[in-house]
Amino acid sequence: MMLLSAARRTRRLSPSLLAGGTLTTLIVAAAIVSFVWTPYDATLIVVENRLLPPSLAHWFGTDHFGRDIFSMVLQGARTSIAVALVAVGVGLLIGVPLGLLAAAQRGLFDEIVMRTNDLVFAFPALLLAILITAVAGPGAVNAILAIGIFNIPVFSRLARGSALSLWTRDFVLAARVAGKGAIRISHEHILPNIASVLIVQGTIQFALGILAEAALSYVGLGTQPPDPSWGRMLAESQTFVALAPWLALAPGAAIVLTVLGLNLLGDGLRDLLDPKTRIER
C-alpha cells in the first residue's frame, strides 16, 4: 500500500486523470467531428428504414423514424456539450466576480449576495427550470438559462469562501499596504490562486450540466427537434425498449460515459492541482 501511494505521488498522471481525460477528449472529438462529418444526415427521416437493428450500414441501428442513431448520438454530443458548457460559463462569469467582490467588500454587499444565493438554492431546481421553460418556451437557450442560474450560486459561494481565506494571507496584506484597491487585488492576487479550485468545480458542474440537460430534454423542455439530443432520444425510445433495445442503449451509454469521464477528470485534476488532498491520498 505504501508502495502504491508513493508511486501515485511521483507519477503525476493518476489513473482517474488518464481515464477521465481520454473519455472527455473522445467525446469532445466526436462532437467536433459531427460538424464536418456524420455517416448520415442525423435529421434525415426514412420511414421505411425504421427500427433497424445495428448493422454495418447503421452502427447503432435506426430509430422509429428511420434516422441513423450513430449520427444522432454524434450530433447529440454537440448539443449536450454546448448547453452544459455555456451554462457553466454563465455560472463562472457571473458567480465568480460576485463571490470575489463579496469577499472583498464584506458587509451589506456580502450579505445580499449570500442571501440571494440561499434563495436560489432554496428553489427546487428542476421545478424552477420547468417554470422558466413554461414562461420562455422550451429550447436550448432557455435550458442554458435554467441550468446556468443554478451554477451562479455554486461558483459565487466557492469563490467567496476560497477568497476569504486568502484575504488574511501575507501576500494579500502586502498588496493592500502597497495601496492596491480591492478589485485589483481580487483580480491580480486572489483569482490566480483560486483558479485551480474553480477549474475542478467547473469540471464537476460540467458533468452535472450534461445530466441536467438530459433530464430537461427527457421531459421535453430542452433542445427541440429536429436537433438531436441524448435526453430526448431516451424519452422517445422509452416505449420501444421491448421492441428495439438499442434505441435506449446508445444515448444512455453516451450520457453515462460523458458524465463519468468528466467526473474522473475532475477527480484527477483535484489530485493534480490541490496539493493537500493529493498528499492525503
The residues of the shown chain that bind other proteins, judged by CB under 8 A, are: 1, 4-5, 8, 43-45, 47, 50, 64-66, 111, 115, 118-119, 121-127, 130-132, 134-135, 137-138, 207, 211, 214-215, 218-220, 224-226, 231, 234, 238-243, 248, 252, 255-257, 259-260, 263-264, 267, 277, 280-281
Residue with smaller CB distance to other proteins, 170 or 280: 280
Closest separation in Å from C-beta 92 to other proteins: 21
Closest separation in Å from C-beta 108 to other proteins: 12
Residue with smaller CB distance to other proteins, 1 or 36: 1
Quick one: CA torsion of 245, 247, 248, 253, rounded to 10 degrees? 110
CA angle 98, 100, 102 (to 5 degrees): 65
Q: Are 167 and 191 within 8 A, CB to CB?
A: no
Residue with smaller CB distance to other proteins, 175 or 248: 248
Q: Is 159 exposed, middle or buried (0-12, 13-18, 19+ CB in 10 A)?
A: buried
Residue with smaller CB distance to other proteins, 177 or 242: 242
Residue with smaller CB distance to other proteins, 59 or 240: 240
Residues 121, 125: Cα–Cα separation, whole Å: 8
Q: Are 140 and 82 within 8 A, CB to CB?
A: yes
Residue with smaller CB distance to other proteins, 74 or 255: 255
Q: What share of the chain is helix, strand, coil (3-state, %, to 5)?
A: 75, 0, 20
Written as nine digits, the cell of 163 is 477568497
Closest separation in Å from C-beta 178 to other proteins: 28
Closest separation in Å from C-beta 142 to other proteins: 12
Residue with smaller CB distance to other proteins, 47 or 178: 47
Closest separation in Å from C-beta 81 to other proteins: 15
Written as nine digits, the cell of 155 is 461558483
Residues 173, 36: Cα–Cα separation, whole Å: 52
Written as nine digits, the cell of 9 is 505521488
Q: Are 263 and 26 within 8 A, CB to CB?
A: no
Q: Spell out a b/e string for 88-110, using b for 16 or more CB atoms within 10 Å of the CB, else e.
A: bbbbbebbbbbbbbbbbeeeeeb
Q: Are 225 and 65 within 8 A, CB to CB?
A: no
> What is the amino acid identity at position 76?
G
Closest separation in Å from C-beta 145 to other proteins: 13
